[in-house]
Structure 1
Amino acid sequence: MIRIERSGLQLRHGEAWLQQQGLDTQQLRRSLITGLAWEQPLVTVYGKQHRTPRLTCWVADRGCNYRYSGLQQAIHPWTPELLRLRGLLHEHLGADFNSLLLNRYRDGADRMGWHADDEPELDDQAPIASLSLGVARDLRFRPRHGDEAAFAVRLGDGDLLVMDPPSQRHWQHALPPRARVVAERINLTFRVIRPA
């Protein structure tokens, strides 16, 4: 895995990581599209409600509640495929992930704005492991403070990106829209929630 480091930022990027684990990423993506309860919820941003510009699904152990932008995520059960991915990540990273946020970007118009995964229920001492399925997209990073330059990491089909602490405290990330992208991408971010 390639290490990417800046002041307050520690990333590990493994290209085609899922394929190296013997997984068929196209089959996995199709299974997730048809087998999960995808939602496009209303969220509140700066006091205004609007639909998220992507589809989402929250999968977690019992008691691992997650709330962002004023929205409490409904907990969906782990599927056999997702349990296998969680086991592989535990084996390679040693982290006990108990929750997973899936984002489904149907084309280049679907996006994610600037944010950090720093909600109070997230364990800020645990890594966040992000898996990509489908068309390649650029994940942009920028510092919260200081004058370090923003940059992008291109995430392709089967890639693993690990965001180690204290990255969320000092940096934000975003998936900007891309007009020329017409294919779909699913992102899976495995997290550690402090159960309520």
Structure 2
Amino acid sequence: MSIAMQPSLFDSPAVAPALGELGETVERTLLSEGAWVDVRPGWVAGSDALFSTLATDVPWRAEQRQMYERMVDVPRLVCWYGENSPLPDRILEEARDALSAHYRAELGEPFRTAGLCFYRDGKDSVAWHGDTIGRSKTEDTMVAILSLGEPRNLLLRPRGGGEASRRFQLGHGDLLVMGGSCQRTWEHAVPKTARAVGPRISVQFRPRGVA
């Protein structure tokens, strides 16, 4: 798949993808009820080249879901890589391993799976939710999101509804990690937008049994 994207002023498809440091470059925001969010802007240099590779090489698929009495299209393309599946680019395997090393003391286990979402334009989105299928329904855990391509807003709010209380604009190699009780006590969303925006790919790394 080939989709036009506005390149970053600080990046280029000609730059080979490479990971930056984590450590003290990661900034943590404490939420409520034991939830937190880490952000590391521009973690992947050469992210536009990685975006182009994934957009072309990943076997993207469209899904449908039941809504009331009819089936509707899921407003994004998806692809899932289980823990024994090779990832579509070596830099994603390096990213998974680097995240596992950085969060080993807190998480106590490695990141093992990768779910990819392709937001083709502003009409593609994901509604308010927490990743509470599996162990994260009852246990603290982490979900690490690597954002590539055009920046989009990721919103967070305490579970139970209401307006977003946290907003992060993510793209071009930015990293965001939701940890602690975040999946149980908070919700997140990538809303639709009427603005003219280009495509974005998110890569979500999760431990075993978290979906």
TM bucket, shorter chain: 0.7 to 0.9
Match of 1:185 in 2: 200
Helix, strand or coil at the partner of 1:53 = strand
Alpha-carbon distance in structure 1 between the residues aligned to 2:191 and 2:102: 29
Equivalent-residue separation in structure 1 for 2:190 and 2:163 (angstroms): 19
Give the aligned partner of residue 123 of structure 2: 109
Unaligned runs of 5+ in 1: 63-75
Q: How far apart are 1:181 and its partner, in Å? A: 3.2
Match of 2:59, SS?
A: coil
Larger deviation: 122-131 or 53-62? 122-131
Q: Which runs of 5+ in 2 are unaligned?
A: 1-25
- Counterparts of 2:92 and 2:203 in 1: how far apart (Å)? 9
* Whole-angstrom distance in 2 between the partners of 1:30 and 1:149: 31
Q: In 2, are the aligned partners of 1:139 and 1:152 still within 8 Å (CA)?
A: yes
- Structure 1 counterpart of 2:63: 41
Moved over 4 A (4+): 146-149
Aligned Cα root-mean-square deviation (Å)? 2.2
Q: How does 1:17-32 map onto structure 2 within 5 Å?
A: 17-19=43-45, 24-32=46-54
Q: 2-side partners of 1:136 and 1:175: how far apart?
A: 11
Deviation at 1:90, TM superposition (A): 1.9
CA distance in 1, matches of 2:42, 2:76: 24
**d(CA) in 2 for partners of 1:43, 1:193:** 24
Summarize deviations over 1:83-108 as a string: whole Å, max 9, x none: 22212222322251111111110111
- TM-score of the superposed pair, with normalisation by structure 2: 0.76
What is aligned with 1:14? Answer: 40
Decide which of 174, 179, 183 is 2:189's aligned counterpart: 174
Sort the Cα spacing of 1:12 and 1:34 in 2 relative to 1 into closer, same or farther, 3 A. Answer: same
Contact 2:141/2:179 (8 A) holds in 1: yes
Give 1:10's aligned amino acid: W
Task: Find the aligned partners of 1:60 and 1:97 in 2 and give their Cα distance.
Answer: 11
3-state DSSP of counterpart to 1:33: helix
Q: Which position in structure 2 is the counterpart of 1:100?
A: 114
- CA offset at residue 47 of structure 1? 5.2
- TM-score norm. by structure 1 comes to 0.81
Equivalent-residue separation in structure 1 for 2:163 and 2:73 (angstroms)? 33
Query: 3-state DSSP class of the match of 1:54?
Result: strand
Deviation of the 1:51 alpha carbon: 1.2
After superposing the two structures, state which structure 1 stretch, 93-102 or 50-59, moved more: 93-102
Gap change, CA 1:46 and 1:121, over 3 Å in 2: farther
| Amino acid corresponding to residue 194 of structure 1 in structure 2 | G
1:59 paired residue number: 81
Percent identity at matched positions?
35
Q: Is the 8 A contact 2:155 2:164 kept in 1?
A: no
- Deviation at 1:194? 2.5
Q: Secondary structure at the match of 2:75?
A: coil
In structure 1, the residue matched to 2:150 is 135
Query: 1:40 aligns to what SS in structure 2?
Result: strand
Q: Alpha-carbon deviation of 1:149?
A: 6.1
Q: More displaced, 51-60 or 82-91? A: 82-91
- Classify 1:51/1:5 alpha carbon distance in 2 versus 1 (closer, same or farther; 3 Å): same
Q: What CA distance in whole angstroms lies between the structure 2 residues aligned with 1:151 and 1:45?
A: 28
